[in-house]
Structure 1
Amino acid sequence: MTPRPALIAALAALTLGALNLGAAAQAGVPAPKVSISDYAQLKTPLPYPYDEAATPEATDAAVAKAKAQAKKSGKLLLIDLGGNWCGDCRVLAGTLDLPEMHKFVDKHYVEVIVDVGRFNKNLQVPAHYGITERLEGVPSLLLVDPKTDKLLNAGNVSHLADARHMTPQSLADYLAQYAK
C-alpha cells in the first residue's frame, strides 16, 4: 500500500503533467522529449546558478541586456528567480542543463538568472511585472514578451516552486506552452 503523502505527491505530479500537456498542445510548440524520467537521474552535484554577490544595479543591467537580446531575436524573456539554498531551484537548473532542454530554451527564450536570496534581494525585478507581494515560492519563472514587456504567465509564476513533485517532462511541457 502506498503511504498517503507519497500517493498525494504522485497524483499531484500526474495532474500537473496532464494539465501542462494540454496547454503545450494548445500552444502549437512541441516540447522536447526529456531524456530522464526522474530528477534523481540528474548529474550531481546540482548547479548553484544564482549569483549571490550581484548588486541590484548589476541585476537590473543583466535583465535589461537579456530583454534587449530577446526583443532583437524574437524570443521570449525567461527570468529565473531563486536562490542557491533552494533544492527545487537547483533541480530546475540541472534540468535546464540537459542537452535537449538547453537546446529548447535557447531556441525559444533568452534566460537571465536572478538571485532573490531568501525573498529579500532583487525584488525590484518581480515588482516591475506587478508582483509586489512576497513570491509564493522559488523557483519562480517570469515569462515575458519583450516587445510589450508584459508577463505571459501571470498567476502561474510560482508554478515550479514545488518542482520536485513534477516530472522533468512536465517542466518541458510547462515551458512549451508559452514558447512561440
Structure 2
Amino acid sequence: MTRLLALSLAAFAALATTAPAQAAQAPKLAITSFDQLAQPLPLPYDEKADAKAAVAAAKARARANRKLLLIDLGGNWCLDCRILAGTIEQPALKTWLAKKYEIVTVDVGRFDKNLDVPAHYGITERLKGVPSVLVVNPKTDKLINPGKTAALSDARHMNPQGLADWLAQWTR
C-alpha cells in the first residue's frame, strides 16, 4: 500500500511538471508612476478609422503570427485610455507586447460609436468603462477575458507595473 501511494505521488508530480505553463511574466518597467510617462499623453484612437476593417486586419495578422489579438476600446477624451497608451509605449513593454499581441485601437466615442466591435464578442450592454480591453483568440475568434474587459478602466489608480502584469496574465 505504501509503495502504491509512493507511485501515485510520483505520477502526480510528473503530471504537475508537465501541466501547461503559467502566464508569461511582464517585463520589469523602468517607471514606477504614471507621472513619469512622456507628456503629453498619446491620443491613441483614430476617430475616423474604419473599426471593422482595422480589427479584421489585426485579427488576420494575429492569426498569421500566432499572437493574441488585443482590442483596446476607448476614446481620446479618457485619461485612463491615454495612460494605458502611454504605458504601452514604454520601451520594454512595447517590445514584449509586440511578441505576444497584435494590438488594435478602436474609438468608441462617448459610448456611441463602433459598438458593433464589442457586440461581436458578446458585449451588448453599455461598456462598463474605458479603456475596455478585449483579449481574443484569433483562431477561434473567442473572447479570452470575459467579465474582465473593463478592468483597466480605472488605470490611473493602478501603477505601471500592475498594468503591465494585467496585460501579461492572458499570455504564455
TM-score when normalising by structure 2: 0.86
Q: Which residue of 1 aligns with 2:127?
A: 135
Distance across 2 between alignment mates of 1:104 and 1:124:
29
Q: Which residue of 2 aligns with 1:62?
A: 54
Amino acid at match of 1:86: C
Deviations 1:156-178 (A, max 9, x none): 00000000000100111111110
Q: Which residue of 2 aligns with 1:36?
A: 31
For the 8 Å contact 1:27–1:178, the answer to whether it is kept is no
Distance across 1 between alignment mates of 2:118 and 2:23:
28
For the 8 Å contact 2:26–2:93, the answer to whether it is kept is no
TM-score when normalising by structure 1: 0.83
Whose radius of gyration is greater, 1 or 2?
2
Shift of 1:134: 0.3
Mapping of residues 1-180 of structure 1, within 5 Å = 27-54=22-49, 58-180=50-172
Amino acid at match of 1:43: A
Higher helix proportion (structure 1 or 2): 1
Distance across 2 between alignment mates of 1:53 and 1:67:
20
* Count of aligned pairs: 152
Amino acid at match of 1:64: A
Amino acid at match of 1:71: R
Flag structure 1 segments of 5+ consecutive residues without an equivalent.
1-25
Please give the secondary structure, in 2, of the residue aligned with 1:66.
helix
Shift of 1:28: 3.5
Moved over 4 A (4+): none
Please give the secondary structure, in 1, of the residue aligned with 2:53.
helix
Distance across 2 between alignment mates of 1:103 and 1:177:
16
Aligned-pair identity in percent equals 61
Please give the secondary structure, in 2, of the residue aligned with 1:110.
strand
Flag structure 2 segments of 5+ consecutive residues without an equivalent.
1-20
Root-mean-square deviation over aligned CA pairs: 0.9
- Using CA pairs under 8 Å that are at least 6 residues apart, name the structure with larger relative contact order, 1 or 2: 1
